[in-house]
Amino acid sequence: MAITVTKFRDVADGLQEGQFQIGDRAAVASLTDLDPVYRQLLDEPITAIVSVTGKTGLSNLTPVWFDYEGDTVLLNLATHRKKSEWLRLNPHATFCLMNPANAYHWLSIKTTVTREVSEDDPQEGQRVTAQLDKIWTKYTGQPGPYQLRDPGRDERRVLFELGVDTIATFGRP
């Protein structure tokens, strides 16, 4: 299934008519097919801001570590956190990754939860832990295992797999 990429008109080359409006649209088969200018935002350790809808119906924004496989976004959360509950109630999330060196170079990904895997799952639970260790290394530069589990509880993790609905891009590095 193709993913629609909306390319906003940016100001990387100076002012232009229709700037900040939608320019072209294209399609990609997966996140790995994105233009390298935007894929770098996915591959580098750039903290994403994720938006999920809470019980009040309002958007909740949280910084998260970002990971993906092909056309699937991976969100690894502690089961006791509200985001886990909210994603189960409303299975949509939007991720924004902004270049820390240039706020006019960003990528937005709208997603829908397609699957949830518990760390306690006898067949796939190890995958959840391994993915957590992978993003720990990506974002901290330290080898696994993940070192931020809450010491006051038996913290369990869940891996949400999210299908990409649409992508919006803006600017260049």
Which of 89, 91, 64, 79 minimizes the C-alpha distance to 162? 91
Sequential pLDDT tens for the chain (173 residues): 688 888 877 877 777 777 777 778 888 888 999 999 999 999 999 999 999 999 999 999 999 999 999 999 999 999 999 999 999 999 999 999 999 999 999 999 999 999 999 999 999 999 999 999 999 999 999 998 999 988 899 999 999 999 999 999 999 99
Which of 116, 39, 133 minimizes the C-alpha distance to 75? 116
| Alpha carbon distance, N-terminus to C-terminus of the chain | 29
Model confidence pLDDT, tens digit, residues 50-95? 999 999 999 999 999 999 999 999 999 999 999 999 999 999 999 9
- Determine the pLDDT at residue 115: 97
- Determine the pLDDT at residue 51: 98
CATH class of 3-170: mainly beta
Sequence-distant (6+) residues with CB within 8 A of 42 are 31, 34, 66, 68, 97, 107
Which of 30, 32, 46 minimizes the C-alpha distance to 103? 46
Which of 126, 118, 80, 73 minimizes the C-alpha distance to 96? 73
CA gap 106, 98 in Å, rounded:
4
Which of 95, 122, 114 minimizes the C-alpha distance to 106? 95
- pTM to 2 decimal places: 0.91
Domain boundaries, the chain: 3-170
- Determine the pLDDT at residue 1: 67
